[in-house]
Structure 1
């Protein structure tokens, strides 16, 4: 029982060392004690042995006839995990089955796969083996990351718990509805159980163990533009100019492998991307408050690199030679201290020429275009996982699993860690070189990758179903502790229609990571090229940039508690079983419900509203009020997704601009959506947006909590409570306007600010219950009180 909410159950070989996920990947204490060793020397074991703690809701019981273990919730007696059905422990094959209460369990997680639904379906199967599949639009196949973690929400009541099998070997997982089965080709059975009981508590406990999500720089919440096929610097300049002319926000330009000399990392094409042209372009971006990001693939051209020991993967007695974009390549061994140091040094050297602001790690499963011969038994395990949906060889499109890392670790064991280790080295290299908060985007991920990197859903296709599926993947990665995630808006492959692209922009404005990226064989789709997409981008991105203070505050919450920014409805409404299957809508934080258009030609949107009051984000009117939750048919807005503010929320906002730095210079406003009982709450986190530490002792930051309460005479009082304030005092930041939604008064209320009545000129009250209080100069970081006295 490692904490009051975390139970660790490990089954290993008492006599022989076996591969485990390294402790520098997931820092954790070594196993000190074994509760019971069920071997012949313990012939007198009791039929069962129970481990429990008065302070924990988890109880563990080991049984000896037959050998099995169970995990139960002490407060309810509910069985959470029960291995009665199957338990096999062999050299390169482990199998365990846990029974589940049919009809009461709703499971989420296990990835990375593109799935039709967010909630796992009966007879779903998951292969966890990081694979360069080429296209992420293929359903149910193993993709770039491995996350053997699921959340189980039990009905009735909505009590949730989490289960992690901490194992980096290849595996198949089958969910049968009344059971879940793991078939693993190595390592140990290393289970962690997280008690919850709320969904938010589960991710808090899970990320406390695997590591909190890395803080992302403020600029990374702006819009990013990329295309594989920008042939030269002039093409980049034209795109930047096009966005500026159309008055569409553009935060960062990205460059795919086009910029490289012969597709070699850390080089520049001397003709199309010479430093003498690229460096001034990047300098101009920086002077305009914009950023520049480039791609890196985790391979080094063989002919351009010395063959250094402990720097690259080894195979069959020499450095492994594979084939990727540059031709014959070596693969850095990021498990080796020298390999990581080599990578970090190359990043620093490259930034002397082009001071990139972030790095994009692609192809890091790792991909390999060369078919490699079978070398030993590792290349052909006794159980063949369902790789790529056809039981494909585990060496397929990757380095051979018989290759070795530092200290003789086999790729067989460490394969799924490669992307994690590259992202860590890239993060550390940027941090060391810039002394600022790194931004790293990684395609391949593992448990704990969120400590170092953001993620995107990979090479998606320009199809309506792909847009819908993106929500499922984004929700899943929120559970995995990687909240900064998005999908290529309008699709990477295939030709998008104007309607699809416009609707995808409206959805993508509420991805935590918002990027457009397309393949060079497709039609151009920069958002200014079509008037319909330009209108959607101006409207939807304007809304997003207005909400940046709220989004960034949620990043702070994610970094400190693991709470995902985009989350399923049941996170806030676990008692409402109707929310368990909702995956065409989502919450952004607790305060916003997003209901995008997901079908071609749609004129309406079918949306579910949980119990409470819901206000339109666009006109502040009370749109839905329900005590039990209900389905509502909404109009399909032309240029934006339907977005509603949850009653009981206070959202900080600023004014939109074409860059985040300019938006940050505008006045603050507060949107106060009152619950039926007249209460609301929210908070605002501020810092410089780039210090390595977010909310720590070595950085300057401000956190203000806002609350609203109903007074006995029918009025309301809103207060600010300053939790911490070392950033705001020198910035002259002020709240200029507060909008109250959901008031009930026959006439214009009276408003008092810190005890002084506000003049009528600063008050506007509408019959739909919206009160706007403007002309304020409330200093952020100082206490204030606003009293609204109702007229009768």
Structure 2
């Protein structure tokens, strides 16, 4: 958790950032007024400024000065072909040294995956990671089906230089084309460019805090940064994959014609086709989305592209996730409600929080601790004041007895002790150092940055013994405090100083970070959301004044008005990794500000410059293996901050350090949709906001919204007011109302995750994916689908008591939508945007006609919910039909011993159920079956061909709702049963 900066309105401004100086060895500054510790000087994170290339008026356009390449020596292979590429003219050396000879490989790896790779012909072991991701770090797709038939066609030309196209054969639509542009390949700069249609619909390219549809005037930068969840900058993770959707009309002959501009109509009279592109390059890079093109500019790596033909979003997503790794299956309990804050001071306080949730009948599954639990912020050591080892055992046991869980934060940096103070010993460091587990400087000395504990070292996931050391430390801590999951933070990897600033200062340990923490005297207090006084006048008057000056507190370099920037000129065959000639649009300026320096060195000689974006992925993989070592049969639960393509195979993710304001809540929806597309469906944000103070209305609305996100956690910052749901009576009621629906839907949500894990399906879904024939939904990101059947239309504006929503397909008569609360079909509106009444405490939720939901009863924990009776809810479509499915297992095991798969089908006024046990015997009884959309109920109602007693049948003709009850366990346990009406 980094301290976020301030932003006003939706953006709240972007601070100016300075860049990198190498080893920081400044003399001690005066101690702060609030601590006897030496404070790392603020200038430790300041260095000369750089200007991003895309903003530099002196920048050279490589397309105008570089020659490109010429292809020759084409050789056919079983899966495609290879060719040689040579410079088509004099080297330009514009942002590095041109590579004269390249190798092209084109592979049809599967029918749904085309691979195009361009790498230097001669790669030595000593420089392989300049161009290739180290083996074993990420899944590396290979040819699975030689001689496949694909709908993708690769073609190329040498006119005027080498360029290629990828075309959809069935429609002749060009999906990606570098023809007419030049490929630039240098030792510190790779550029290629593809044309795009006008008004293109591009999604993905995470991680971004941005609208769902990316737009055609946006640069996505990849360099993992601890920058807070701030709009339109590079933040925590890197997922260089995009989905593009194109809309077509048919001519008289049935041929598809691309529509580059269309009316914003609710009519579903278009055909859409989608495809995906994954660039397997982990280096820092800019991806420029311009009016009619997309340009990739990386400061290393190679051209390593994977194309997925779709032709629909679900097919593209499945192909992509099969390539990088399918999402991890989560334990059932992780779908409950989670409570956390930075500022819980003891096991006793945590227990009070748990008991208060119980007292107010608010569901609570998991209590979390932020960095407060540690001794001086050191991993794997409980603070004896408040979090002593012995008390932890009783606390954890009581949690588990109540069906609840505990997850601590684990930071990514490791404290390095003061060598002059024997009492400062830290065995965690010593054991890691003995195995060579930490990054070094180029001269072989330990790289020492600064994070929460003070001066720290950083694990090297490319060193042979590091992962086992990490596993051992997590096992040791588990034996002291039996935690249930791991929260990995600061994993970009973040450092609060430039370079190895602690190398010559270790005798000053422990040191204070170079900024004031919330609540310390040097820090002003926290603000309330915009519009606070509108609904919180009394509270505002009585609340303590609070405001933290994040612009000074946040650990970045200070703003500067200087127009003097560091620009470097390429030196032949020499890489300047600290100031690369091409400056990406990094939020922090140069690459070492707020992060490990690019010249930090891994055990195999790889520089951090080449694998920076993979560090967070490495710790998630190691943590997954550690939790697997602790509980070999249980699915690990990990919440990670920095992620890369494929990280969803190991971990969940949250939106990072957001703010307690309405824009942060609004932007949580496109964040979640993007992460669902990118293969991390277990996603949520800090509900009610992390930084600054929330208020009653904001927390009321946000607790209801997040109830329909897969990961549901309330978390806020040290020094802010408490924001547990029970702090306001209205938030108690609102939370319980939304949670009641969530807990009923847990079996539905769990089944969605099973399909995501097995087949690469999405969980949270954009309307554009579910209704692909309607281009007016292409940019819809203020409402969303949970799976295929639940529509959520939240209130996102302060003071609003209604919300405008869209019910896709309703006007055309293609869809039926049912109000979850009153069980009735939504009337056909006069226009697409419908005003929905939504007073404070009410979140509009709708069920899609044609759906069958297996439901259980709401409870305070998922354990109790799972032990409750079942209801089957049927929402009929316009034809009186519906389908649904259910997956059950023990909710824990990696390989369950018993499973249950249920399929539900409704046709011709008959519900039929087929249950395949897989050894699972469901002991909870079936309570009732409810059917929405029944115009007439015949008598008698028949269950398995036998009449149901009239006392067990209730038909409401006004609401067209039929409820049948009186079942026993045998109805649910049987392999097949039916209900006719």
Same-fold status (TM-score > 0.5): yes
Supply the distance in 2 between the matched residues of 1:518 and 1:573 (Cα, whole angstroms): 36
**Map of 1:514 onto structure 2:** 712
SS at match of 1:408: coil
- Pick one of 466, 470, 473 that aligns with 2:671: 473
Supply the distance in 2 between the matched residues of 1:684 and 1:313 (Cα, whole angstroms): 47
**Map of 1:150 onto structure 2:** 242
CA contact (8 A) 2:155 2:164 kept: yes
Show CA shifts across 1:394-413 (max 9, x none): 11111111112232121111
1:91 is displaced (CA, Å) by 1.0
**Map of 1:413 onto structure 2:** 610
Q: Could you list the runs of 5+ residues in structure 2 that have no partner in the other structure?
A: 1-107, 249-270, 418-425, 502-573, 810-814
Give TM-score scaled by structure 1 length: 0.92
Supply the distance in 1 between the matched residues of 2:223 and 2:710 (Cα, whole angstroms): 26
**Map of 2:77 onto structure 1:** none
SS at match of 1:265: strand
CA contact (8 A) 1:748 1:765 kept: no
Supply the distance in 1 between the matched residues of 2:352 and 2:378 (Cα, whole angstroms): 25
Matched, 1:58 2:152: yes
- Judging changes above 3 Å, is the alpha-carbon distance between structure 1 residues 629 and 76 closer, same or farther for their aligned structure 2 residues? farther
1:310 is displaced (CA, Å) by 3.2
CA contact (8 A) 1:212 1:558 kept: yes
CA contact (8 A) 2:687 2:699 kept: yes
Q: Map 1:286-305; keep pairs closer than 5 Å.
A: 286-303=400-417, 304=426, 305=429
CA contact (8 A) 2:187 2:575 kept: no
SS at match of 1:266: strand
CA contact (8 A) 1:728 1:781 kept: no
**Map of 1:119 onto structure 2:** 213
1:101 is displaced (CA, Å) by 1.2
SS at match of 2:648: helix
- Judging changes above 3 Å, is the alpha-carbon distance between structure 1 residues 54 and 561 closer, same or farther for their aligned structure 2 residues? closer
1:112 is displaced (CA, Å) by 1.2
- Judging changes above 3 Å, is the alpha-carbon distance between structure 1 residues 131 and 379 closer, same or farther for their aligned structure 2 residues? same
Show CA shifts across 1:408-442 (max 9, x none): 12111111011111011111101111121110000
Matched, 1:100 2:232: no
**Map of 1:721 onto structure 2:** 914
Supply the distance in 1 between the matched residues of 2:603 and 2:939 (Cα, whole angstroms): 71
**Map of 2:139 onto structure 1:** 27
CA contact (8 A) 2:109 2:144 kept: no
**Map of 2:93 onto structure 1:** none
**Map of 1:761 onto structure 2:** 951
- Pick one of 844, 859, 865 that aligns with 1:657: 859
Show CA shifts across 1:566-599 (max 9, x none): 1101221111112211100000000100000100
Matched, 1:76 2:171: yes
Matched, 1:13 2:216: no
User: Which deviates more from structure 2 when the two are superposed, residues 699-708 or residues 338-347?
Assistant: 699-708
- Pick one of 314, 332, 335 that aligns with 2:440: 314
Show CA shifts across 1:68-115 (max 9, x none): 000011111111000123421111101111001113x31101121211
Q: Map 1:524-603; keep pairs closer than 5 Å.
A: 524-603=722-801
Supply the distance in 2 between the matched residues of 1:637 and 1:544 (Cα, whole angstroms): 20
CA contact (8 A) 1:753 1:784 kept: no
Supply the distance in 2 between the matched residues of 1:78 and 1:624 (Cα, whole angstroms): 40
- Judging changes above 3 Å, is the alpha-carbon distance between structure 1 residues 13 and 491 closer, same or farther for their aligned structure 2 residues? same
- Judging changes above 3 Å, is the alpha-carbon distance between structure 1 residues 197 and 325 closer, same or farther for their aligned structure 2 residues? same
**Map of 1:613 onto structure 2:** 816
User: Which deviates more from structure 2 when the two are superposed, residues 310-319 or residues 16-25?
Assistant: 16-25
CA contact (8 A) 1:485 1:513 kept: yes
Show CA shifts across 1:204-244 (max 9, x none): 11101101000111000000000000112221121111111
**Map of 1:91 onto structure 2:** 187
CA contact (8 A) 2:800 2:839 kept: no
User: Which deviates more from structure 2 when the two are superposed, residues 596-605 or residues 53-62?
Assistant: 53-62
Supply the distance in 2 between the matched residues of 1:299 and 1:11 (Cα, whole angstroms): 36
Q: Map 1:595-744; keep pairs closer than 5 Å.
A: 595-611=793-809, 612-625=815-828, 630-693=832-895, 699-710=897-908, 716-722=909-915, 724-729=916-921, 731-744=922-935
Matched, 1:132 2:226: yes
**Map of 1:49 onto structure 2:** none
Supply the distance in 1 between the matched residues of 2:662 and 2:438 (Cα, whole angstroms): 42
- Judging changes above 3 Å, is the alpha-carbon distance between structure 1 residues 32 and 187 closer, same or farther for their aligned structure 2 residues? farther
**Map of 1:67 onto structure 2:** 162
SS at match of 2:710: coil
CA contact (8 A) 2:220 2:288 kept: yes
SS at match of 1:491: coil
**Map of 2:47 onto structure 1:** none
1:648 is displaced (CA, Å) by 0.7
Show CA shifts across 1:139-186 (max 9, x none): 101000001110001012121111100000000011113111111000
**Map of 1:358 onto structure 2:** 485
1:373 is displaced (CA, Å) by 7.0
Supply the distance in 2 between the matched residues of 1:434 and 1:455 (Cα, whole angstroms): 21
Supply the distance in 2 between the matched residues of 1:360 and 1:70 (Cα, whole angstroms): 43
Show CA shifts across 1:521-576 (max 9, x none): 11111100100110111111111111101011111011011212111012211111
Supply the distance in 1 between the matched residues of 2:654 and 2:215 (Cα, whole angstroms): 24
Q: Could you list the runs of 5+ residues in structure 1 that have no partner in the other structure?
A: 34-51, 711-715
CA contact (8 A) 1:312 1:319 kept: yes
SS at match of 1:315: coil
**Map of 2:50 onto structure 1:** none
Supply the distance in 1 between the matched residues of 2:730 and 2:206 (Cα, whole angstroms): 35
User: Which deviates more from structure 2 when the two are superposed, residues 322-331 or residues 302-311?
Assistant: 302-311
Supply the distance in 1 between the matched residues of 2:833 and 2:148 (Cα, whole angstroms): 42
Supply the distance in 2 between the matched residues of 1:122 and 1:14 (Cα, whole angstroms): 35
Supply the distance in 1 between the matched residues of 2:967 and 2:591 (Cα, whole angstroms): 63
Supply the distance in 1 between the matched residues of 2:738 and 2:451 (Cα, whole angstroms): 39
Query: Considering only aligned residues, what root-mean-square deviation do their CA atoms show, in Å?
Result: 1.9
- Which runs of structure 1 show a deviation greater than 4 angstroms over 4 or more consecutive aligned residues? 29-33, 373-376
If asked which structure has higher relative contact order (CA below 8 Å, sep 6+), I would say: 2
CA contact (8 A) 2:888 2:899 kept: yes
1:692 is displaced (CA, Å) by 1.5
- Pick one of 939, 942, 957 that aligns with 1:752: 942
**Map of 1:324 onto structure 2:** 451
Matched, 1:404 2:614: no
- Judging changes above 3 Å, is the alpha-carbon distance between structure 1 residues 568 and 426 closer, same or farther for their aligned structure 2 residues? same
Give TM-score scaled by structure 2 length: 0.75
Supply the distance in 1 between the matched residues of 2:307 and 2:620 (Cα, whole angstroms): 27
Supply the distance in 1 between the matched residues of 2:231 and 2:648 (Cα, whole angstroms): 24
**Map of 1:432 onto structure 2:** 629
CA contact (8 A) 2:412 2:489 kept: yes
Q: Considering only CA atoms, is the larger Rg found in Structure 1 or Structure 2?
A: 2
1:640 is displaced (CA, Å) by 3.0
SS at match of 2:455: strand
1:649 is displaced (CA, Å) by 0.7
**Map of 1:110 onto structure 2:** 205
SS at match of 2:884: strand
1:23 is displaced (CA, Å) by 4.0
**Map of 2:526 onto structure 1:** none
CA contact (8 A) 2:854 2:870 kept: yes
Supply the distance in 2 between the matched residues of 1:212 and 1:8 (Cα, whole angstroms): 19
CA contact (8 A) 2:640 2:651 kept: yes
1:765 is displaced (CA, Å) by 0.7
1:53 is displaced (CA, Å) by 7.3
Supply the distance in 1 between the matched residues of 2:919 and 2:828 (Cα, whole angstroms): 39
**Map of 2:111 onto structure 1:** 4
1:787 is displaced (CA, Å) by 3.8
Matched, 1:772 2:963: yes
Show CA shifts across 1:8-63 (max 9, x none): 00111112254322342332356999xxxxxxxxxxxxxxxxxx977311111121
